[in-house]
Chain A
Amino acid sequence: MGISRISGLAAAIFLATAIGPAHAAGKPSDAQIAHIAYTGGSIDIKNAKLALTKSKNADVRAFANDMVRDHTAVNDKALALVKKLHVTPEDNATSKSLVKQQDEERAKLSKLSGAAFDKAYIDNEVAFHKTVIGALVTTLIPSAQNAELKNLLQTGVKIFQGHEQHAEQLASSLK
């Protein structure tokens, strides 16, 4: 098991723990759920933009472009929905933890280059998507009160599952 794989697993455990407190303290509100979902998308766009500045691998760059395109589309849809519902996304401990953990991850990634960067970036994408999907399925979707928000999150899960599978295929090819 390589360092980047351990880092990916650590990220998954950290994020699972981070999402726990909001759930333990009671179900997150729709305003908090919207904030967490939007934050997750924004983080992945930042990760992808870093990959686009550092990677020369065509497959990794194509994946990063896919992440920018899809997460921008999901976040645009989420913004339009909260506007329509007159909901103001509310920052919360889970969103803060996600940002902190992935800021640290990007700081580590930025020190890598070449194949080492590609592998660490993709491993982190597998772990990050796995954790976000887990949080959506177990906590965020069941807690969402508004039907349109719930529906958007469910579509998001399908999109992110595709991302995770794509990242796993790439991770295998980068070994």
Chain B
Amino acid sequence: MRAAMLCSVAVLLLQIAGAQVGIAGEVVQVKINDLAFSPVDITVKAGDTIEWVNNDFVDHTATATKGGNWDIMIVAGQSAQQQMTKTGTIKYFSRFHPDMTGTIYVVND
């Protein structure tokens, strides 16, 4: 009983410590307003997930053109996610609105 309680406390402390240093695996938001990604350039850690939040009333995509191989549909008023698994620089754009571009810098944890 006592051992189990100590174990739970230890797990809780580890979770708090992890949250404070920002462990890999976080969800990082990129907003879409008025046909622009915000921020345009973003740095995340390998293992983090980008969540695009589409506040526009038209659909967009986040489509990697360099450094990645994904094509994410982001429906108007909704959000969509993609995990960044490898370090590197990824260039992406919206296929539906090619003048909308962004860059993701994925760094080591």
Residues of A within 8 A of B (CB): 62, 66, 69-70, 73-74, 76-77, 155, 158-159, 161-162, 165-166, 169
Contacts and interface: CB of A to CB of B under 8 A. Distances in A.
- Residues of B contacting A: mostly: loop
Contact of B96 (A69, A77, A155, A165): A69
B98 A73 contact: no
Interface string B8-41: 0000000000000000000000000011000000
B35 A73 contact: no
Interface string B62-85: 000000000000001000000000
B57 A77 contact: yes
Given A69-B58, A70-B58, A73-B76, A165 B99 contact: yes
12 contacts: A62-B95, A69-B96, A70-B58, A73-B57, A77-B57, A158-B35, A159-B35, A162-B35, A162-B97, A165-B99, A166-B99, A169-B98
Please list the 9 inter-chain residue pairs (A to B) with the smallest Cβ-Cβ separation, ordered nearest first. A73-B58, A162-B97, A162-B99, A66-B96, A70-B58, A158-B35, A77-B57, A165-B99, A166-B98
Nearest to B94: A162
A165 B56 CA distance: 19
A165 B76 contact: no
A169 B97 CA distance: 12
Contacts of A73: 57-59, 76
